[in-house]
């Protein structure tokens, strides 16, 4: 049975073995609140890398008891990111989380060829799981944060990451809509041409475990009435589980519209490293971060 709500991810990981979560530069109150919630719910064992004095001051402001947390002192954000990644690399932690270190430094630590946690020729990409009040199920989106203009090969990797997350959510055959400006195959528009290629790769099992269709305009991907009006025959149209966007501008705009205008909630992970990595915005709420921790713990389950 597939997971339909973000809260169900939390309930699922509560029934699994707790994961060792390491936070890179944990000098942030929303991060500490999320970590504390996840710890109290029993699905993580926290390791905080950052300025210990500042972390304790922030925790005291919110009456968060961190006496049982492991804290590794590091006042420099880049060094904190490196130390957190090192714990993952050495097998001393299961899940990586971004604190107040900037996204570029966080990614730099992950991608470091000598001390990072990327496999050879790996592709780092971002998957967002969004719960939107007006949509009938969870919607998986890629890539809103990492790859600006993905190549065809990167889109294949992005599709496979969407499939992996969908399978963990219990969606046996996820429906992936490859988004473009039009559902027509227009060779002059690269996103349309590459969407058609990805669709055919899905048909021929070069990308396995999903139903893939494209090019597909956004309305056709998620709105059944639009599908009927345009008379489109597709097993994906109007009922997509996953949206694979052609560029970061379109994906990022979509996901922010979902959360800020449509009042959606989300969980987000970075895929491609040797362990799940949580990359949320420094402005994200503690609830968003709690859901993201739960999703990472779900992905870390063998």
Q: Which CA distances in Å does 243 have to 105, 141, 216?
A: 28, 5, 10
Whether the pLDDT of residue 302 is over 80: the answer is no
Give residue-wise pLDDT tens across range 226-256. 999 999 999 999 999 999 999 999 999 999 9
Instruction: Please state whether the predicted TM-score (pTM) of the whole model is above 0.85.
Output: yes
* Per-position DSSP letters for 60-97, written without gaps between them: HHTT---TTSEEEE--SHHHHHHHHHHHHHTTS-SEEE
Q: How confident is the model at residue 282 (pLDDT cuts 50, 70, 90)?
A: low
Give residue-wise pLDDT tens across range 101-156. 998 999 999 999 999 999 998 999 999 999 999 999 999 999 999 999 999 999 99
How high does pLDDT run on average in the chain?
A: 95
What pLDDT, on the 0 to 100 scale, is given for residue 162?
A: 98
Nearest to 138 by CA among 128, 148, 147: 128
Q: Are 221 and 178 in contact, with CB atoms under 8 Å apart?
A: no
Per-residue pLDDT, averaged over 192-220, amounts to: 97
Q: Which of 87-96, 207-216, 281-290 has the weakest average pLDDT?
A: 281-290
Q: Residue 189 — φ and ψ, nearest 5°?
A: -105, 110
Beta bridge partners of 22: 47, 96
- What DSSP state is assigned to residue 124? -
Q: Which CA distances in Å does 274 have to 8, 171, 270?
A: 25, 23, 11
Taken in order of first residue, the domains within the chain and their CATH numbers are: 6-118+273-300 (3.40.50.10950), 125-260 (3.40.718.10)
What pLDDT, on the 0 to 100 scale, is given for residue 246?
A: 97
């Amino acid at each position: 049975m597939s997971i339909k709500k973000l809260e169900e991810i939390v309930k699922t990981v509560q029934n699994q073995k707790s994961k060792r979560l390491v936070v890179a530069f944990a000098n942030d109150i929303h991060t500490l609140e999320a970590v504390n919630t996840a710890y109290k719910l029993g699905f993580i064992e926290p390791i905080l890398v950052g300025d210990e004095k500042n972390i304790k001051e922030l925790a005291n402001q919110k009456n968060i008891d961190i006496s049982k947390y492991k804290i590794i002192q590091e006042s420099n954000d880049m060094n904190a990111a490196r130390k957190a990644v090192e714990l993952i690399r050495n097998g001393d932690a299961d899940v990586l989380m971004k604190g107040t270190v900037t996204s570029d430094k966080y990614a730099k630590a992950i991608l470091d060829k000598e001390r990072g946690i990327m496999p050879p020729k790996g592709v780092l990409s971002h998957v967002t799981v969004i719960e939107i009040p007006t949509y009938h199920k969870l919607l998986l989106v890629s890539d809103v944060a990492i790859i600006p203009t993905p190549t065809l090969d990167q889109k294949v990797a992005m599709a496979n990451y969407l499939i992996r997350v969908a399978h963990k959510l219990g969606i046996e055959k996820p429906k992936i809509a490859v988004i473009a400006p039009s559902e027509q195959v227009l060779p002059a528009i690269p996103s349309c041409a590459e969407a058609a290629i990805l669709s055919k790769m899905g048909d021929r099992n070069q990308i396995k475990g999903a139903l893939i269709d494209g090019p597909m305009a956004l309305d056709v991907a998620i709105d059944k009435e639009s599908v009927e009006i345009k008379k489109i025959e597709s097993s994906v149209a109007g009922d997509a589980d996953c949206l694979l966007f052609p560029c970061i501008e379109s994906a990022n705009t979509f996901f922010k519209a979902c959360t800020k205008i449509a009042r959606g909630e989300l969980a987000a992970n970075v895929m491609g490293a040797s362990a799940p990595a949580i990359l949320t915005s420094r402005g994200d709420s503690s609830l968003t971060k709690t859901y993201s921790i739960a999703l990472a713990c779900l992905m870390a389950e063998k």
